[in-house]
Structure formats: C-alpha cells, structure tokens
Structure 1
Amino acid sequence: MRGKNKLVNGLLLAVLLFVVLCRSSFGQSVSQALPIDPKLKIGKLSNGLTYYIRKNVEPKNRAELYLVVKAGSNMEDNDQQGLAHFTEHMAFNGTKDFPKNELVDYLQKSGVRFGADLNAYTSFDETVYQLPLPTDDVELLGKGINILSNWAGHVSFDSDEIDKERGIIVEEDRVRGKDAGERMRKQIFPVIFYNSRYAERLPIGKIDIIKSFKYETIKRFYNDWYRPNLQAVIAVGDFDVDVVEGLIRKNFERLKNPRRKRKLETFNIPLNDKPLVKIVTDPEFSYNVSYIFFKKPQVILNTTEGLSRSAAIQMINKMFEARLQEIMERGNAPFVHASGYYGPYYGGLGNLSSLFITTVAKEPEALKASITGVMDEVVRVNKFGFTTTELARAKQNFWAEVQKQYNERNQNASSNLVNDYIAHFTKGQPIPGIDFIYKYYEKELDNISIETVNKLAKLITESDNCTAILESLEGNKSRLPNEETYLSWIKSAGKDVKPYADDVIDQPLLSTIPAGGKVVSEKQIESLGVTELKLSNGVTVVLKPTDFKTDEIVFTAWSPGGTSLSSEQEYLSASIAADVVSASGVGAYDKSQLNKLLSGKVVSVSPYIDQHFEGVFGSSTPKDITTAFQLIHLYFTQPRADSNAFKMIKENYKVNIAARPSFPGAIHQDTISAVMGGYHKRSTAPTIREVESLNLQTSYRFYKQRFADSHDITFFFVGNFSVGSLKPYIETYLGSLPVTGRSESYHDLNIQPVKGKLEKKVFKGLEDKASVSLFLHGDYVYSEENNMMLDILNAALKIKLIERLREKESGVYTPSVNVSYSNIPKTSYTFNISFSCATGNVEKLIKATIDEINQLKNFGVSEVDLLKYKAEEKRQTEIRFRENYFWLYYLSDVYARGEAIDRILRYYEKLSTIKPEQTKEAAEQFLNDTNFKRIVLLPEGAKVTQSVN
C-alpha cells in the first residue's frame, strides 16, 4: 500500500551497523557481544512465531502494532510476480473475522486513519503491516491483536474482491510509474542488481500477471509463506506487557505451519570484478546525474566493536559531506550538487555495503568536471584521510546527538522504536537500547583515534567493484560520453590532489553582547499555560513551557510584510533573499565556518521571507539556547551576503527551471499555479532569462529592509524551559533588536483564482497516464464554525472518493482531497481533488467525483462518516496536545489571524455537537460549482473527449 521506507529514527540506523570487516583497533581490549535492550521482551510461540513487546508511554494511551512476514517478492514463483504485494492489498479486503471492507470500516470508526495510520508495505524480502491503536479501550486493543492474527493466517481472498483489486494495483503501478523514472529504472536495475534475483522480482510485479492470474495462484503464495515460523508480532506502546503477551498467545498460538514448508532462501547481490556501466537517457528527464557505487561485502557486527565502527562510519560520512558542501558554498564547484556516504547497498538489499556517490552537472559538457571533482575528494580521503580538527568536530556532533536521544529516552515516540525491531527480526541487526549505547560511547568515543578512522576511511574509499550509472535527456545523447570514457573519468581522478586544509575561525559567535531591553508587560493565559511578554522595543514574545521533550525548544517569529512589499522588478531577487542570507553565514562567519563553530551544538536558526510575512524559525536544546538567541540576533543585525552562496543558489535555480519543460508533472503544476493565481506574474514560473537577472545586492537590500524594524514582530517559544529562565535571553537578544518606528503591513496583490468555471487540458507525456486536478473555491465568512465545516466536508469527501473511485470503480490508486482556507490577505477557501488514472477513464471518474459531491450537497455527511471523522479528530487531538511543534504552529497561526487563542480548548466539544443535517447546508454553500476548475494532464496525442458538465 505504501512505498518501501525503512529509515529508522533511532540512533541505530541500519546504515550504521552494516560495516566492512577490517581489523583496525578501536581502542578496546576485548570486544563484547551486544545485549538485547532489557526494556524489550522477546518471545517465541510453539509454532515458531516471534514476538517483541516494549512498554513505551509516548504517545500516552497509544500502541504501535506490527505484523512482519519474512517473505516478499523474492519468494514469488514465475507465475506469481506481483502477488506478494497483491496479498498485502487483500489483507485489507476481507479476513475470517472481518469480511470484505469491515476491517477498515471498524478501524475508521475507532479513529484510525486509513493510509496515514493503517498501512502496509511489501519489499523484496519482507512484508510489514502497521496498525497504531488507542490503548485506553481494552476491547479495541484486543481487536487490534486479533486483526494482526487475521492478516497472519486468515485472509479470505474473496474472488470478487480479488477482481476489484486488480484495477487498483494497475493504477498503483500507473501513479508510481509510467514516467521517465520507471522507464530508466527498467534499464538500470539489471545493472544495479547485477546477476541477482532482485533484478527480476520488483515488488509491483508484472501487470499482465496482475490482470490475469488465477485465484489459486495467490492463495498458493499466501499458504506457502504466511506461516508462523516466518512471522513476528511487534507491539510497542502504553500498555501492560503481560496483557499484550497474553493477547498475542491467545490469537497466534492456534496458527499452524504447513506440513510441507518451502525453504526460505537468502538472496544476495554478487560483487563485480569488472566495472558495470550504464548510460541511460529519456525524453522527459532533463538533469545530468551520475551515480557511482563502490561495493564491499556486508557484515553485521553484534559486538561493542561494531558500535565503535558504526560511530566511525557515521563520522566519516559527515566529514565527507561537509567537504562537499564546503566546495559548493565556494560558488565555483564543478557540480551543481554532490553527495557521498557509505552504507547498505541500495537501501539495504542483499548482502552488500557501498560507498555511494551522486553528482549533478549543469549540462552534459560539465559532466567530466562534475564527476572528477567529486572523485577528487574520494581520492583525497583515500590518500590523506581526515584531519584531527575535522574528527574533533565530528565527535562533538555525534556525541551531541547521542546525548539528545538519551535525554529524551523516556519521551521517544513508539513509532521510532519499531523499525529497529523489524531489522532485528529480518536482518539480525543488534538492539542494545539507548541506555547501553550512551554509556558505551561515554566511555569509548574518545578512544576512536584519527589513525583508526583514516584506516577505515581508506578501506571504504577503495574504488573496486564499481557500478556507474549516468542519466540524462535523450536529446543530449550526442553530447554524452560513451561508457569507456565515463569510466575513465572515474578512474583517472585525483592524481594531483593535496591534503585538505581546514579553515577555522577562532573567535566568539557574537563579539559584543548587546545592552538589551526590558519586559514592560506580562500577561498570563492560564487555560493554555501561555505567557505573553511585551518588550520595550515593541517586540512581543509568546511562551509555552512544556515537558513533552526534555531536550527540545522550538521557536518561530513573524512580522507582516513579506515579498508582497517588493516591486515587480525586484520580486524574483526578493523571493530568494532569505535563502541567500541563510547560505551566506552570519556575522564574521561564512556558512562553512559557522557550521564548524556550531559543532557539538544541537541548534538551528533560519530566516525566512514568504509572501506576507518575514521572520525566523528554528530549534535548540536547553543547553544550547544561548547560541540560538545569538543567532536570532545576528540574522537581524549582522546578516551576510556572500557572492559565492548567491552564485550557488542562482545556478541551482537555473538548472531546475531549465529542467521543467521536460517533466509532464511540472508543466501540469505550472498551469495549475497560473490558473489558481489568476495569471498574476508571481503565480507563473520564471524564465531562464528572468533567473539570469537575479541580483545579489537587490536580494540583500530587500532582506535588510524586511529585518530593519522589529517593533511589530512576534516570537513564539515552546518546549522545555521556564519563563524565568528565558527572560534574560529575551531581554538581551530580542529586546535589543532594531526599531525604526515605521508602520506597515502586507499588501493584497490580488493573487486569486480566475472566477467562474474553467477547463484546461495539458498535453505532455509519453504514456497512458492522466493526472486530474479539480478545484472548488470561493469567498466566505472566515469563522471557527465555517472552518470546522470545511474540514468535515473535506474528510467526508475523501472517504467517499476512496469508496467510489478506488473501491467501486477500481479506477485510481488513492485519490487526494485537500481543503485550504485563510483570511490572509482576504478570506477564501479552496477544495482540491486530484488523482491519476488511465486516459480513457478521465471523464468517467470526473463524473463519478461530481456525483459524490452532489450527494453531499443533497444529503449532507452521513452519520457513519461523521462518526469516523469525530473519532479520528478526537484521537489526533489527544496526540497533538503532546507535541511541541503543534503548539508552536497553532499559537503562531492564531496570533497571525487574530483568532481567539484558547479556541482549541473548545474545538472537540463544538465538533461533537455537529449533526449530519448541518453539513448539508455547508455542502450546498462550499461545494457549489460556481467556481469550478478542472485541469487535466493528458499524454501527447491523447484523444480529446467531451467534457463532463
């Protein structure tokens, strides 16, 4: 149902523990086996099913339930290609205890969101089902474990449901593919997955099989591979461990393995003695991208030595990335973009690790310089290693992150823990827990020497087992190298490289502490635990102390104005002004020097200028809050305008603009932006000529104008602090911000959609793939009640279109429905409905969409759908109330829009009183087609049919 995404949020990222085996010393006398986190309970049932149970209280009254099946597309027979993924879909279409769509319906009524919460993915080697649930309802928790067991052994495979699902998976293939990316992957994967099973078992499978397989074929896959001895149940959350263990035993002990168990094979990707090279072009791909892999055997070290190697590899990756970033920030880099890291090969598939290098060149003629430029840095590391000062900074940053995770160990979200347990079950990844990790690195991190790191770096950067891919526009074929030349660039790089010179400034971030101002008034909003301060220079500061995260303070600020105050001639330069300053550094430090100075600090501050506001946003730990305030002060008083940073931003802008005409989706989006912006100049994409006219001094002057007066700015701080502890910083660094006494606000530029009905067809693309975007919009009375109705209609319409377009028509994968509304600069709302489909189904599906809209106007939201929305909002509100970022954005928003600050406290009470009959009146008002836009992307040469009125 969703794409493969196994990025772990905890410290033990899979990338850190898949390392090459070398015998350099990490300062340890004896390497010891890593323990299992004592907070985790692992058990095994008599039928072979493994379970992982961990009590974790964030979020409160919530649990993450997962079913992991150690089988994916690699286990498919030739006549089953795509049926591992199809099986995953069928698990939601009927089981023994939940026929047809009753499972999804039941969970939605319990506040579980389909797609966002209830989800699954199929990969080459595993299939994983995800079910987050409330735990304050004992019956619901029991049902949740029962649902996992139904997926594990009792999927129905109803014939009618199978036939309906065929079309949905065909549409999933269409929405995820039928583009340049898919066409190029088909050519690249045989090289990437050279001589391995992975090259011939992509999870989406073969569409001709999806359309025609016999019912028994998918049942055979399920019966062969969905068996207890290949399955694990993972339960992490705010519950009684013994109760959950009992529920797992009750629901899973009865499952049986087949009498004749098929052997579970392990599939690997071989090393290649000779380089593998592939140059691929496509008419719809405008970038010039090089991907280079240097493969190594993969070894998982479940020892303390493995932890040291993991730290060393992470630091090597960070140091190498810092060097590449520094080159780009100089403004004369041979590449538009470059990156490099060592980790699991291609997402952790097979048995390999690799050094993975990516470069993007401005044009084909720049490819040689781009590739040799980044390869020079690989060779520089191989020959000379890193410096002691680089390693010192890398250690500081690494340790700061370990400390942050340790300090927040009791507030870590349950979802952040699950992926480590999945990797333990499927890959054998160690799971010692953050307590052990912290204590280990506290003792051993300093023992990781520069000699050891450089010895490991040399091994990592050896250029053997090379796989090289080059992608470009088909029209560039004559300007591209052949495979032999491309490979020669990689091999010949770095002959004259010299050791890296570390440029560091040794002086304070802020040379003089400002005199500061004073708090002149203080107001308490006790119902929200909020304090509002007024400073002597006019600055307003809104504070909400919380205990949600021990090591987190988040902040933002806004002042009215933004790019709406720029002239049309200066607009483009004004629109990148904050980006230029952010990329230039601050005070005495350029960006690279600033990054070095901030080593070991968990702090981030960035200025921004949008259409109507300017300000800053960022985050910090409590111990680094001084640095955060100093950076805020400097972005107002000592911004920099670095010509190199400006050149980098301008070149990236030009490359992206030049690439847009080749991408069907970009042309479609540009058309949408123009129509929904009333064809205002600022709602249309700039030309290359206009980008060429960008001017550094114009950008810098506009930035300084916007940040010259702070009397009307409002700051918001949320997190682990007390009002008293923050007051001295507020008075010193915010109370001293400049004031000129000007009075201004943002301008209304009248950027709004074209009035009335409008239809646009965009013809771009080579494949049978249409993208439909429908808009209903208008003016209205901006109020809490009306906004609530807009949200209800949005949720109901989303439910109905999934039922109609996906489940009934089998015509789309997942329709998107979104509503936006605002009173800045004027009140307006917009519904956007979008989906991809076959070209021949466009009019039928638009007609079905309009029919569902009319049903809402005629009858309102049904009692059942309203119940689902209320349940979802209740559960989501409980979670949001424990998140710093929710409160930050909420407070900033209500202040900016002039709304009652405590309205959130009445929200659910008001929502619970809404009746279906009230939604009918709202639907008639907000879903009327007075302003209806349909903008459809069709492939070139598509037959134009009569539109639906």
Structure 2
Amino acid sequence: MRNTYLITFILLFISVYTFGQKIIPLNQRIPLDKSVLIDTLDNGLTYYIKENKEPQQRAELYLVVKAGSLQETENQQGLAHFTEHMAFNGTKNFPKNELIDYLQKAGIRFGADLNAYTGFDQTVYQLPLPTDDDELLESGFKILSDWASAITFDDTQIESERGVVIEEERQRGKNVNDRFNKKIIPVLLEGSKYADRIPIGKTEIIQNFDKDTLRAFYNKWYVPHLQGVLVVGDFDKEKIKTYINKYFSKLKSTSTFLKPKKYRIPDNIQPKIKIVTDSEFPYSVISVLYKHPSKTLKTSADLIDAIKKAAINSMFSARIQELIEKGDAPFLNASASYSSFQGGIGDLDAFSIQVVAKEASKIKLAIEGIMSEVNSMIKFGFKETEWERIKKSFLNSITNSYHEKDKISSKVFINQYLNHFLKGESIISMDYSYTFYSDNLELISVNDLNKMVKTWVSESNQIILLKGAEKDKEILPSELELKEWVNNSNNNIIDYVDDIIDEPLLDIENLNGNITSVKEQKQTKSTEIKLVNGVRVILKSTDFKNDEILFSGFSSGGVSLANKNDVASAKLADNIINSSGVGKFSATQLQKMLSGKTLGVTPYIGMYSEGIKGFSNNNDIETTLQLVHLYMTQPRVDSIVFKTLKNNYKVAIEGKSSNPISVFQDTINYVMKGKGAWAKDLDIVDLEKINLKDVEQFYRERFADASQFTFIFTGSFKKDSLIPLIVKYLGSLPSDEENEKYRDVGIKPLSGKIAKNVYKGLEDKATVVLSYHDVFNFSEKNALVLSALKATLENNLLERLREKESGVYSPSVNLSLVQIPRPYYSFSISFNCATNRVDDLIRATKEEIQNLKNKGLDEDDLLKFNNQKIRQHQLNLRKNSYWLNYFQSVVLYKKDINLITKFDERIDNLKIQEINKKAKKYLNPNNITQLVLYPEMLEELE
C-alpha cells in the first residue's frame, strides 16, 4: 500500500511545473473551445461549424483533404496539385469553367477570394461567400461536395491544364531562389520522402501522365474519412448542419481503412554543410539550422513551452536589432528564431539563424558576430529587465485580443480548425488563452527561459548553408572552414548590457491649444474640428473593433519641394529620422520604453505630401499623440544610424545589377516616370551626395507648419475623451501658415509608342509588360468606367491566355489612376511565359483588347463587376482603414465628403453603352508601351 502511495505521489510530482509555491498542471489537456460544433458523418467526414459575426453577412467555407504530394506514386508526381487545378475546370454540377463564371456573377473573385493550395500532406479549397443569399450559400456546399467527389476530369480540360501547371512553375520559379532551392532542399530533406515529393511535381510527368493515372489518385484519396468541411461565419448553425448532411452524407469511401502514411526526416549526427553560388545572387547569406522534434500543442505544458519559445525569439531578435542600430554589428543583417522546420513538415521544429555578410571577404566576421550573440545568450542568459518587457508585451497583446474576441475574423478560426483537423492541435478559446496568460505568465522565470535556450544548439541535427555570388566563388570558405567558424565562435563572448532611459517621453508643460470650429457631417457620421493653429481634424467613431484607433496626419508638399541637389537627401529623410528614434530617445531606447503599449507612429515623406500615420488603443492614445508631437517638433538624427542605413542602401544598389527583375524594373520606372532627379531611383552617386545636415533640415521644413496638416482619426474612441488630447498635443504644434503646395517635378510616362526588350537572366522565362496610358478628365464616373474595363479585361485575358492558350498561369491587369500632379490613367498588363511564346501571347493579348474595344462589355461582364464591387464595398465599410483612406482622399483631392454614401447609386447608374463608348477612347490611347524581359542568351540571336 505504501509503495502505491509513493508511486502516486511521484506521478503527481512529475505532472506539474513548479514555480516557487505555485504549480502549473503539465498534463492537463487544453479544453476544446465549446463554441465550435465538431462532428463526424457516418461515412467518416468530419465537419466544423462556428457562428461568427465578423465579417458580417459572410462565411468561410473550406474543404480539406488529408492527402497531398506525399501520397503520390512515382508516376503521379505533381498530380495532387494537378487535381487541385482540375477542381476549377469542371465538376458534376458545374461543367468546364461554369463554376468560376457562376461565382464571379455572385461577386466572388477568382484568386483573391476563391482559391486552393496543395501541400505535402494536405489539399485545401477555400470559398468565401455572402450569407444574405440562401440559394448562393447552399450552392457553396454543392460546390464543396463536387470538389470532394465529383470532379469530372474532362480529357480536353486535362490537356489544356498541363500547360497552365507548367506555367505556374515557371512563374513561381525559374529564378535564383528556385535554383538555390533545387540544390539546398535535397540537403534539408535528405533521406526522406519529402525530398522526392515536392508538390509542384516533375515537368516530364505533368506533360505526359496518363489521364487515368490522375483519376486514380483522385478516386483513391478523395474519400470522406480523409476529408473535413470547415464553416465559419455569420449564419444559423442548424441551417449549415442541414446543408452538410444534405450534400456530404451520401458520399462513399472506397476504403475506410486507408490512411496516409506518416513520414519523417531522419536525424543527422554530424553537421550537414552545403555551399551554393549563383551569378544572379549578389550577397553572402549564411544559414544555420538546429533540428528539433516538434510537439503538437495539446496540454498546458505545451502552451507554456510555446510561450517560452516566443519570449526567447522576441528577446533575442531585439538584441540583434539593437546591435545593428548601434552600428556595432559585424554583419549587414541577421535574424534568429525557433519555429517550425520548413513550414512544419516532418514533425520537426528548428532553431534557425541567418546572417548576411557585409561582403564576401567578411563572411567569417559575420558568422563569428552572430554566433557570439547566440553563445552569449546561452552562456549568460537573458536579463530580468528583458523578460519584464516581454511579459508586458505578451499581456498587452493577449488583453487586446481578449477585448476583441467578438470581432475576430472568421479566417482566424478557420486556421485553428485546419490545425486541429490536420495535426490534432487544440482549439483554444480566447477566454482560456486570456485566463492562462493572466494566471501563468508571472510564474515563468527568466531562469526557465535560460534553461530552455541551452537545449537549442548542438552539432547534432545541425545544417549549415552558404548562399553566395558566383563572382566570389574563389574567396568563399570551404565546408570545413564554414563548420569551424560556426561551431568555434566562443572567443570574446561578453554579456549583454540593457540600455534603458527612465525619463518621461515628453515635457507636457505649456502645451495648449483651442478649438475654433466644430462641424458635424451627418451622412458620414463624422465630425470636423478646426484648431487655433490651423490644424484640421476629422473624427469618425466606429464599432468595427472594440479598441482600435487608426490615424493619419498629412499636408501637401513632399519630396517635390526639395531643391534638385538635395533630392537624394529628401528621399531618405523619413527613413533616417524614423530609424533614429525621437527626442532624447534612440530607436532602441524608445522601443524599450514603449514595451507593453499598443501603438505605432511613423513619419513619412512621399513625393507630393508628407505626414504621420499610425495606430493605438484607447489606453495608449495619449502616448501616441505625444509621439506625433515629438516627431513634428523634436526629430532626432543619429549619425551611426545614418551611416548604417547608407551602407545598407549601397549594398542593395550594388546588388541590383545582378538581379534580372531589378534591372527590368529600372526600365519600367524610366518608361513610366521619366528619368529626372525626382523620378529615378537612387544610385551610388546620389547616395554619396546625402549628408545628415540636409536630411534634418528638409525633414524639419516639411513638418514645421502644422497649419497645413489635416489629421484623421477612425476607430472605437469616445469623442469626449479624445478631443481634449487632440487639442493639447496637436493644437500646440507650431504653425506659420505658409500655405505650401506640391510642385509638378515632371514625373510622367514617356509619350508615344515604345517597345523595348531587356536581356537579363539565365532561365527560359520571359516577363511581359504592356501599358496603355494617357491623360484624362478625372471623375468618379470615369474612374468606375476604367475599373469596369480593367475587371473585364482581366477576366478575358485569364480565359484567353490561361484557359485557351495554356501559355500563362496568372495574367495581371493593374489599373493606376493618378490625380496629382495631373490626372492620368494606366492599364498595365503583365505575365510570365516561355520565351518562345512571347509573340503569340502578346498578339493574343492585343486581340482581346481589340475585341473589348469593338464589342465592349456584355450584361454578364457588368453583372460580375457590379456584384464584386458591391460585395467588396460592403466589407470595406466595416474597416477603420477604409474610412481613414476615404477621408484622406476627400481632403487630398477635394472631393465631396458625402460621396461614399452614394456608392450603390453610382454603381446602379453605370450603363453598358456609356462604358463601351469610353472603352474605345481609353483602350486606344496615344501612349502604348511594350516591354519584355528575356534571358540574356537570346540577345545574341537578335
């Protein structure tokens, strides 16, 4: 009997985590969030249903299949992903492309809303729908059911889709990162099935697989017991349950015993080392990874461990950033964190370190620098002051989340349910999280963190990677040297010193202001205030979030007002000032002082305006306004920060010449902006002209006159509480009423018909940009007409270039409407393709543009555009950021403040005849640009 008691006592003792006199039960399962209904149909299909009010009248519908590329046979490589593509190319109830057409007419955007992805062991389909249309909502479950069991795999559609999948690989790959990955991934995943089952598959299989092989994969793995339906949104739960039973209960499994095999990535006792170079890579980047077994988050102990890891990540990242800001870092940049290994595969985590050397000859210094910081962390540990700041931040973050628990987006819950279905992770309610953090965070000591971090680094399960420039190949270290530098950087390790200023942020004595006028805007439910110093303030109180305030203050001017010789200094002024801190605080000291607060304040200087933008909650809005006051009256310039930023810019500029996209972008910028001092990007010559005195002077000039500024506040504030603070901190800003205005500095596209080929790069990959642009009379109606043309052209090009030509994965049409300094529009059509298809696809694109000019929109085109615009507008009206941007545009472009209330009316007034008439004008401009990026090997053939 005594032995039984002893065993019981031991089991009890080892099942708790002891902190002084308090304990946290380690083996206690995290309770399941009771607000979600989880059940399983008789056929094995699992479903999740949760009622959620944000966004209103919307639902997220997901179909999840526990099968991906790992389930492919040798002759099926890439077919899990191909199956996902075929889901949009015809199902039982929606043949061919009728599915996309049907949803677009209902206001759902292909790609932006309707989408899917394939991983190693999962395939996920997402379908967001409005819930104010019962027929449409029910159709969503019919669509998910079709994806689950009734994809048609039409022979013609399969043949057509081969080219699309090949082009997806070309668009996402065929670049330096892709070439590196092909050399590095075999090292990272060596000895595992993962290395042989990259989801995109093999090109030769995609081009030649037998159609029945594709169908065999679908029939084997798309079975109910491996599928989950996840539904979260603003609806009645019982109605959704009825739909799930109606459309999924009759699905049958071919074998309920079929389960995907679990695969792992083997350990490596000795370090793995790989050095790779490429002619298009300008830097030297070293990565060090230490693999660790991952643990599914299920118990309170798991949650404690997750909190500790997050805390260590935050504290160490802060140390690295502080080192860089002080100018003491022997590297250009660095980062380190404990997280999932390669996105969470193989049931592994990793402590990953990455460092960028200042140049190839200084790789050893960079490695020794970052490893010294790692070894210092392990040897000396963290300070109580560091942990206290992180605790404040964590408690502040969880408190903010708790206060917003009824405003959480449905997608947040979807992601939780995905992890529960796929990995068995707990679904943690916000109430539980808040209570757990509140009760247990103080029980974690800094010693607990210091013990944990000592387990993160060892030579077993270590992988060391070096990515470098081909031109530096001769001076790069050997694998043995690399290993020695990483694992023997134990010299000159010093303890961290926490630099803190314990002083008030701002002397708030003698800060006074007054209101001269108040005007209520009834239609927009906003208030406009004028302060005695000329500052204009627009306030809109909302209930979209429980404790969120967004703000923006701005005035006309910007870099356009700089003297020609000072343009380079003007362009970098905001970045240098913002990185230097403010008032008496350096950037690092400021960050430490603000720990545990919810706020962000960022000054900026654009080409035609300058301003300050940010966010806060109600508790911290006074501190936020103090920072605004400081940035406008006491900017700080730090010579060390200035030197560091200049060096970073120099490295980036020098590296551009080896990057094909950067070279091509320079050409695009020249054609679309011109090449004056204000239009062109900074080069090395410009960089050398910048001096700190000019930077500070230009910044001060731009913010010296508050009378030119308008401030906008949107969010969950009480006007009676906010207005006195605005009066105090904004009303006391200096002003001289100079009434400055931006200048036209000649930034505009080159006129006429321009065609230019750029030759840069190694792969069979071309990038095409076609631009149609011209000046026009700006009006809200003309802007809508152009938007309708853009949306229709994008749909037409998707159908033509992707579905019919099978030559492009995702053609893009971008519409730019510029009002300052003069109104002009630009349609930019861009896509990637094979080099031998460029001429055919450009010709096809121009044919579609000509067809749109000749035939115009039809009723279906207008229906799709109108419904998508209305659906998006409904969502936007519940966002503080949307209202903030709206009021800013009202002020900058002198619009009617009530324009937003007439949105539906403007949509209803759009007439096909008027759109089609203007299509002939807008799609037949005087200025047309055709730019193509080819690989350099083709230049010799020209």
TM-score by length of 2: 0.97
Paired AA for residue 30 in structure 1? P
Please point out which of 181, 198, 212 is paired with 2:177: 181
Contact 2:545 2:716 in 1 (8 A): yes
User: What does residue 776 of structure 1 align with?
Assistant: 772
Aligned positions of 1:666-681 closer than 5 A: 666-681=662-677
Matched, 1:598 2:594: yes
Paired AA for residue 863 in structure 1? E
Matched, 1:507 2:503: yes
Please point out which of 566, 571, 576 is paired with 1:570: 566
1:636-691 CA distance string (max 9 Å, x none) = 11110011211221121111111111111111110000111123233333322332
Please point out which of 143, 147, 152 is paired with 1:151: 147
State the percentage of identical aligned residues.
46
Contact 2:16 2:23 in 1 (8 A): no
Matched, 1:110 2:106: yes
Cα distance, 1:944 vs structure 2: 9.0
User: What does residue 5 of structure 1 align with?
Assistant: none
1:273-309 CA distance string (max 9 Å, x none) = 1001100101111121111101111122411122222
1:443-475 CA distance string (max 9 Å, x none) = 111111111121112222445421011101111
Matched, 1:358 2:357: no
Distance (whole Å) between structure 1 residues aligned to residue 16 and residue 935 of structure 2: 57
Aligned positions of 1:745-894 closer than 5 A: 745-894=741-890
User: What does residue 310 of structure 1 align with?
Assistant: 306
Distance (whole Å) between structure 2 residues aligned to residue 945 and residue 778 of structure 1: 34
Moved over 6 A (4+): 21-24, 943-946
Aligned positions of 1:251-400 closer than 5 A: 251-259=247-255, 262-400=258-396
Matched, 1:618 2:614: yes
The Cα RMSD (Å) is 1.5
Contact 1:74 1:201 in 2 (8 A): yes
Please point out which of 721, 728, 739 is paired with 2:724: 728
Contact 2:674 2:680 in 1 (8 A): no
Aligned positions of 1:471-550 closer than 5 A: 471-550=467-546
Please point out which of 202, 221, 241 is paired with 2:198: 202
Paired AA for residue 300 in structure 1? T
Aligned positions of 1:572-587 closer than 5 A: 572-587=568-583
Distance (whole Å) between structure 2 residues aligned to residue 884 and residue 482 of structure 1: 54
SS at match of 2:59: strand
Cα distance, 1:261 vs structure 2: 5.2
Paired AA for residue 740 in structure 1? D
Distance (whole Å) between structure 2 residues aligned to residue 398 and residue 900 of structure 1: 43
Distance (whole Å) between structure 2 residues aligned to residue 923 and residue 727 of structure 1: 48
1:240-281 CA distance string (max 9 Å, x none) = 111111111111111111148544101111221100110010
| Structure 1 residues 125 and 23: CA distance shift in structure 2, 3 A | farther
Distance (whole Å) between structure 1 residues aligned to residue 175 and residue 667 of structure 2: 19
Contact 2:17 2:23 in 1 (8 A): no
Contact 2:24 2:440 in 1 (8 A): no
Distance (whole Å) between structure 1 residues aligned to residue 256 and residue 724 of structure 2: 73
Paired AA for residue 553 in structure 2? A
Cα distance, 1:23 vs structure 2: 9.1
Distance (whole Å) between structure 1 residues aligned to residue 892 and residue 844 of structure 2: 39
Contact 1:379 1:461 in 2 (8 A): no
User: What does residue 168 of structure 1 align with?
Assistant: 164
TM-score by length of 1: 0.96
SS at match of 1:686: coil
Cα distance, 1:103 vs structure 2: 0.7
Contact 1:514 1:732 in 2 (8 A): no
Contact 2:335 2:354 in 1 (8 A): yes
Contact 1:25 1:452 in 2 (8 A): no
| Structure 1 residues 370 and 727: CA distance shift in structure 2, 3 A | same
Cα distance, 1:335 vs structure 2: 1.2
Please point out which of 25, 28, 36 is paired with 1:30: 25
Contact 1:229 1:257 in 2 (8 A): yes
Please point out which of 401, 404, 426 is paired with 1:405: 401
| Structure 1 residues 25 and 289: CA distance shift in structure 2, 3 A | farther
Distance (whole Å) between structure 1 residues aligned to residue 941 and residue 340 of structure 2: 49
Please point out which of 37, 42, 46 is paired with 2:38: 42
1:874-893 CA distance string (max 9 Å, x none) = 11111000000011111111
User: What does residue 51 of structure 2 align with?
Assistant: 55
SS at match of 2:277: strand
User: What does residue 80 of structure 1 align with?
Assistant: 76
Matched, 1:64 2:60: yes
Distance (whole Å) between structure 1 residues aligned to residue 674 and residue 581 of structure 2: 37
1:759-791 CA distance string (max 9 Å, x none) = 010011111110000111111111111111111
Contact 1:24 1:452 in 2 (8 A): no
Question: Which 10-residue stretch deviates more, 135-144 or 905-914?
Answer: 905-914
Contact 2:90 2:99 in 1 (8 A): yes
Unaligned runs of 5+ in 1: 1-20
Contact 1:294 1:355 in 2 (8 A): yes
Aligned positions of 1:683-722 closer than 5 A: 683-722=679-718
SS at match of 1:105: helix
Paired AA for residue 625 in structure 2? F
User: What does residue 86 of structure 2 align with?
Assistant: 90
SS at match of 1:515: coil
Contact 1:74 1:197 in 2 (8 A): yes
Unaligned runs of 5+ in 2: 1-13
1:544-576 CA distance string (max 9 Å, x none) = 100000121001111111000112211111111
Aligned positions of 1:440-455 closer than 5 A: 440-455=436-451
Distance (whole Å) between structure 2 residues aligned to residue 191 and residue 110 of structure 1: 47
SS at match of 1:578: helix
Contact 1:94 1:100 in 2 (8 A): yes
Paired AA for residue 365 in structure 1? S
Contact 2:707 2:735 in 1 (8 A): yes
Distance (whole Å) between structure 1 residues aligned to residue 624 and residue 677 of structure 2: 37
Question: Which 10-residue stretch deviates more, 441-450 or 769-778?
Answer: 441-450
User: What does residue 99 of structure 1 align with?
Assistant: 95
Cα distance, 1:24 vs structure 2: 6.5
User: What does residue 12 of structure 1 align with?
Assistant: none
SS at match of 2:168: helix
Paired AA for residue 349 in structure 2? S
